[in-house]
A and B are shown apart, each in its own frame.
Chain A
Amino acid sequence: GAVVSQHPSRVICKSGTSVKIECRSLDFQATTMFWYRQFPKQSLMLMATSNEGSKATYEQGVEKDKFLINHASLTLSTLTVTSAHPEDSSFYICSARSGTDYEQYFGPGTRLTVT
């Protein structure tokens, strides 16, 4: 089946620094990738949608200059949290879909803690 990986699985960083999270589709080409954020005991909130080779589309309320998304290839998307603050601490989950399927395949998530 389709597999999506995320790296790192956990990261702790100091306030003011930047963190990059990678999302890879391992056995299929992902024309579209999505980034979600999940707070404890809450649902997933869509942050942005990215299509390979074009700029990401951000959801209302998500700062595009703070959450930089790059989808440079059909198997890799990155989310960079710039100038991180403690309130950015969260579980970040990516997903990917190919052009032929409505189904999304999810990565295992990245736990970000900003101290």
Chain B
Amino acid sequence: AQSVAQPEDQVNVAEGNPLTVKCTYSVSGNPYLFWYVQYPNRGLQFLLKYITGDNLVKGSYGFEAEFNKSQTSFHLKKPSALVSDSALYFCAVSQTSSNSGYALNFGKGTSLLVTP
């Protein structure tokens, strides 16, 4: 079964510092990996995805993620955090069966708090 793990419940970063939100995956076959962000009482907003190609994926709002096959990781990064980045971040992996419609399995989420 395809799954992802987010080992941190919360990450605290000072504004202007780089941030990393960790995600590791467990899949059979090639992984399709995603990062989404959720603001309070809102749906999820897509940040970026890795399907194939370059290991460094650039996404929305200055975020990027590096696919590392040897470490089975897909950590989300940003060089300089903003207070407005404070939100709940979800890593997800796609089920690879077309019968499943490529449904997503989500990690538990990591709350990011950026302080001024």
| Residues of chain A at the chain B interface (Cβ within 8 Å) | 4, 6, 32, 34, 42-44, 46, 49, 51, 57, 91, 93, 95, 97, 102-109, 111
Contact = CB atoms under 8 A, between A and B. Distances in A.
29 contacts: A4-B43, A34-B101, A34-B103, A42-B108, A42-B109, A43-B107, A44-B44, A44-B106, A46-B103, A46-B104, A46-B105, A51-B101, A57-B100, A57-B101, A93-B43, A95-B44, A95-B104, A102-B49, A102-B51, A102-B102, A103-B46, A103-B49, A104-B104, A106-B36, A106-B45, A107-B43, A109-B41, A109-B43, A111-B41
Q: Is the interface of B mostly helix, strand, loop or mixed?
A: mixed
B94 interface: yes
Interface of B: 32, 34, 36, 41-46, 49, 51, 90, 94, 99-109
Contacts, number: 58
Nearest to B90: A43
Q: Is the interface of A mostly helix, strand, loop or mixed?
A: strand
A49 B101 contact: yes
A108 B41 CA distance: 8
A109 B42 contact: yes
A40 to B, nearest CB: 10
